[in-house]
Amino acid sequence: MLLRIIFAGKVQGVGFRKFVKKKADEFGVKGFVRNLPDGTVEVLAEGDEETLKPFFDAIENGPPLAEVNGIRYEFIEKDGGFDEFKIEY
């Protein structure tokens, strides 16, 4: 199962991607996190539902310097074929 999340607000330049990568490694989630040109951050995480829900809870507020003021997310019933979690640039 995939979980796609878009975070809006003060989410770039505050260590957001590094924070998400650390949490993904803790939860054993695979996928990626990247900054988007419009100032948002996208997370695409692969795992089972029992793992993705607590992972989402752990990252929804972001790191201490972030100010998340909008979140869009969707669960997608397919596999992404990821073998690790990466920060994409």
Dist CA 55 CA 48 (whole Å):
11
Is a pLDDT exceeding 90 seen at residue 20?
Answer: yes
Which candidate in 17, 34, 61, 72 is catalytic?
A: 17
**Predicted pLDDT of residue 89:** 86
pTM, 2 dp: 0.97
Annotated catalytic residue 35:
yes
Q: Is 34 exposed, middle or buried (0-12, 13-18, 19+ CB in 10 A)?
A: middle
Q: What is the mean pLDDT of the chain?
A: 97
Q: What is the pLDDT of residues 44-65, one digit of tens each?
A: 999 999 999 999 999 999 999 9
pLDDT band at 9 (very low <50, low <70, confident <90, very high): very high
CATH of domain 7-76: 3.30.70.100
Which candidate in 35, 61, 69, 72 is catalytic?
A: 35
Is a pLDDT exceeding 90 seen at residue 32?
Answer: yes
Dist CA 71 CA 17 (whole Å):
15
